[in-house]
């Protein structure tokens, strides 16, 4: 985990000082950040991500998750970045989710324009609690870019109806096209989506920061979204007290002991499990039979 200074090596004090980035973020709800990671780090992130995209997560394989047709989800990607977030979003914010996805080519607006719903809107009725995401592209993005309506943040987030979508001020839309390594920070209450058409697969990771004390909407409690981060000890050297706080060390607000996620595919999973057991059994028999045949051959 690096400090702000080392994570922002290329900040040009003239045009993108932290103060001007902050001003832009407050006004528009999003800000493109200077390149946050070195070429080597980016390559490492791309390799690690590609490794997780090789297989569906299953049994002893830690791969991707698939719950929809157009995206492969990778959970718990390493939180490599901690930078200006504290300044941007205040002292109580914690990295609450680190995940990325590979989006597949399509013309379908499968996600649609929305603000991210995450907190319990029946219990939190005052000002919209701030949540920000830091997005980093791992592939060059020439289509299917992240799109954001500038200045639309700060209102209770929801999925937009057809009528609301038709009335969107698209002249205020920022489209974040850019090479791998492009980073953008956005207030998730602002209206956004992945643009269409997506002409080539896009890989991106999204780090989510909010105050874990804010009550979550029921659907995210049921799913155990924003579970405490699962971290790799190899990367946890030399952390400052602030790094530890921002990573949620000791934070139990969202922890659910013994959590069991309800599966929507129980029958199908049971079927696959039986099939796999049958496969193991066949493997065991064939190695026994093979071993016996080999012994017989040797005796001859
Ligand atoms: O994939 C995208 O570009 C949009 C992602 C998004 O809606 C989100 O992370 O909240
Ligand atoms: Fe979103």
Ligand 2: distance of its center to the CA of 295 in Å?
62
Percent of the chain with pLDDT over 90: 57
Determine the length of the chain: 300
**34 vs 14: CA distance, rounded Å:** 13
- Cβ atoms of 133 and 208 closer than 8 Å: yes
Q: Is the shortest distance between the CB of 137 and ligand 1 below 6 Å?
A: no
pLDDT in tens, 79-129: 434 556 777 777 888 999 989 999 999 999 988 999 999 999 999 999 999
DSSP H or E run through 192:
strand 192-194
User: What is the value of pTM for the model shown?
Assistant: 0.84
Residues 206 and 131 in one domain: yes
Ligand 1: distance of its center to the CA of 147 in Å?
9
Residue 48 has pLDDT above 90, yes or no: no
For residue 158, the ligand closest to its alpha carbon is: 2
Residues 74 and 216 in one domain: yes
pLDDT at 70: 63
Residues 203 and 113 in one domain: yes
Contacts of 21 (CB under 8 A, 6+ apart): 31, 33, 84
pLDDT at 73: 65
Percent of the chain with pLDDT over 70: 87
Residues 287 and 213 in one domain: no
Could you tell me the sign of the dihedral formed by the alpha carbons of 292, 297, 298, 300, in that order? positive
Residues 118 and 225 in one domain: yes
pLDDT at 71: 66
Residues 204 and 231 in one domain: yes
User: Which residue has the least CA distance to atom 2 on ligand 1?
Assistant: 194
Residue 55 half-sphere exposure toward CB, CA atoms < 13 A: 7
pLDDT in tens, 18-30: 778 889 999 999 9
pLDDT in tens, 202-256: 999 999 999 999 999 999 999 999 999 988 888 788 888 888 888 899 999 999 9
**52 vs 46: CA distance, rounded Å:** 10
Residue 4 has pLDDT above 70, yes or no: no
Bridge partners, residue 136, by sequence: 183, 205
Residues 30 and 50 in one domain: yes
**36 vs 4: CA distance, rounded Å:** 10
Q: Is the shortest distance between the CB of 186 and ligand 1 below 6 Å?
A: no
Number of domains composing the chain: 2
- Cβ atoms of 136 and 46 closer than 8 Å: no
Residues 208 and 66 in one domain: yes
pLDDT greater at residue 38 or residue 1: 38
Bridge partners, residue 141, by sequence: 178
Residues 97 and 173 in one domain: yes
Residues 108 and 63 in one domain: yes
Which residues form the domain of 272?
263-300
Q: Is the shortest distance between the CB of 210 and ligand 1 below 6 Å?
A: no
CATH number at residue 241: 2.60.120.620
Residues 250 and 271 in one domain: no
Three-state secondary structure call for residue 206: strand
Q: Looking at the CA of residue 71, tell me the nearest atom of ligand 1.
A: 1
Residues 29 and 133 in one domain: yes
For residue 135, the ligand closest to its alpha carbon is: 1
Give the DSSP letter string of 102-169.
EEPPBSS-SS-SB----B-TTT--SSPPP-EEEEEESS-EEEEEEEEETT--SS---BPPHHHHHT--
Ligand 2: distance of its center to the CA of 98 in Å?
14
């Amino acid at each position: 985990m690096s400090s702000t200074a080392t994570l922002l090596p290329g900040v040009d004090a003239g045009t993108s000082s932290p103060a001007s980035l902050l001003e832009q973020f407050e006004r528009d709800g999003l800000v493109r950040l200077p390149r946050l990671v070195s070429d080597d780090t980016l390559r490492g992130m791309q390799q690690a991500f590609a490794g997780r995209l090789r297989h569906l997560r299953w049994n002893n394989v830690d791969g991707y998750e698939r719950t929809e047709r157009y995206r492969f989800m990778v959970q718990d990607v390493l939180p490599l970045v901690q930078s200006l977030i504290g300044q941007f979003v205040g002292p109580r914010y914690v990295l609450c989710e680190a995940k990325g996805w590979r989006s597949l080519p399509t013309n379908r607006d499968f996600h649609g324009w929305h603000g991210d719903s995450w907190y319990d809107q029946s219990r939190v009725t005052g000002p919209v609690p701030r949540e920000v995401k830091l997005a980093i592209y791992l592939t060059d993005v020439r289509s299917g870019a992240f799109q954001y309506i500038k200045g639309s943040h700060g209102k209770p987030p929801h999925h937009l109806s057809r009528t609301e979508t038709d009335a969107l001020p698209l002249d205020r839309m920022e489209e974040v096209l850019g090479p791998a390594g492009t980073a953008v920070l956005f207030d998730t209450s602002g209206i956004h989506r992945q643009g269409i058409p997506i002409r080539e697969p896009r890989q991106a990771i999204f780090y989510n920061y909010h105050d874990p004390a804010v009550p979550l909407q029921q659907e995210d409690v049921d799913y155990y979204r924003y579970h405490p981060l699962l971290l790799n000890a190899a990367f946890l050297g030399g952390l400052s007290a602030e790094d530890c706080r921002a990573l949620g060390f000791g934070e139990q607000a969202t922890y659910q002991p013994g959590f069991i996620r309800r599966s929507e595919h129980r029958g199908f999973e049971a079927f696959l499990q039986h099939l796999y057991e049958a496969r193991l059994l066949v493997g065991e028999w064939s190695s026994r039979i093979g071993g016996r045949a080999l012994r017989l051959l040797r005796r001859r």
